[in-house]
């Protein structure tokens, strides 16, 4: 089914994600479809928006700790993150950088420019400007579906 939206290299990228992130991508994808969002770039971005997490060895305890730190002392996360791949702190770096890392992976898998930009921007604070571009509208839809799934 997702192969209707993703090319084989993009399916491969999706399948590199841990099961829980695959499930989450599908939930976001279906939530958008239920809202009559049929833009192809948006649906591709929904499936792959967290693709950057595939490299990170993000275990459950990292995820729990990230939620806790985000709630208590969000500024600590930057200090905890290390871009040294062998470090135990690397998963925190991957979590923090996953929009950019995911955008690079999506670009390498030949996703459209719009899908790549949506992935890159999906954790941006949502803009409330009345002058929203079409891409901003798609981003808002993605963020809304991401937030509740
Ligand atoms: Fe994300
Ligand atoms: Fe997400």
Distance separating alpha carbons of residues 65 and 71, to the nearest angstrom: 10
Average pLDDT of span 119-139: 88
This prediction has a pTM of: 0.91
pLDDT at residue 7, as a whole number: 98
Average pLDDT of span 126-145: 88
- Give me the phi and psi of 93, to 5 degrees please: -65, -45
DSSP 45-80: HHHHTTGGGGGS---HHHHHHHHHHHHH-THHHHHH
Contact 130, 76 (CB under 8 A): no
Q: Residue 145 C-alpha to ligand 1 middle, in angstroms?
A: 11
Distance separating alpha carbons of residues 53 and 96, to the nearest angstrom: 9
Distance separating alpha carbons of residues 106 and 100, to the nearest angstrom: 10
Ligand lying closest to the C-alpha of residue 147: 2
**CA atoms 24, 72, 86, 82: torsion sign:** positive
pLDDT at residue 60, as a whole number: 87
pLDDT tens digits along 54-90: 887 888 898 899 999 989 998 888 899 999 988 989 9
Q: Residue 36 C-alpha to ligand 1 middle, in angstroms?
A: 22
Q: Residue 99 C-alpha to ligand 2 middle, in angstroms?
A: 10
Q: Residue 51 C-alpha to ligand 2 middle, in angstroms?
A: 9
pLDDT tens digits along 5-17: 999 999 999 999 9
Q: Distance from first CA to last CA of the chain, Å, rounded?
A: 20
Q: Residue 92 C-alpha to ligand 2 middle, in angstroms?
A: 16
pLDDT tens digits along 99-111: 999 999 999 999 9
pLDDT tens digits along 17-27: 999 999 999 99
Q: Residue 138 C-alpha to ligand 2 middle, in angstroms?
A: 15
Alpha carbon 27 to chain centroid distance?
Answer: 13
Q: Residue 129 C-alpha to ligand 1 middle, in angstroms?
A: 22
């Amino acid at each position: 089914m997702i192969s209707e939206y993703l090319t084989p290299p993009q399916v491969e990228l999706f399948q590199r994600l841990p099961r829980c992130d695959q499930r989450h991508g599908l939930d976001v994808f279906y939530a958008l479809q239920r809202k009559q969002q049929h833009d192809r770039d948006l649906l591709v971005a929904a499936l792959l928006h967290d693709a950057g997490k595939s490299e990170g060895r993000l275990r459950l305890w990292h995820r729990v700790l990230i939620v806790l730190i985000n709630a208590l002392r969000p500024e600590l996360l930057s200090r905890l993150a290390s871009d040294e791949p062998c470090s135990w702190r690397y998963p925190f770096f991957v979590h923090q950088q996953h929009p950019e890392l995911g955008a690079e992976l999506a670009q390498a898998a030949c996703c459209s420019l719009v899908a790549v930009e949506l992935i890159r921007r999906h954790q941006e604070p949502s803009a409330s400007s009345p002058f929203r571009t079409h891409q901003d509208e798609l981003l808002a839809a993605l963020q809304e579906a991401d937030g509740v799934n």
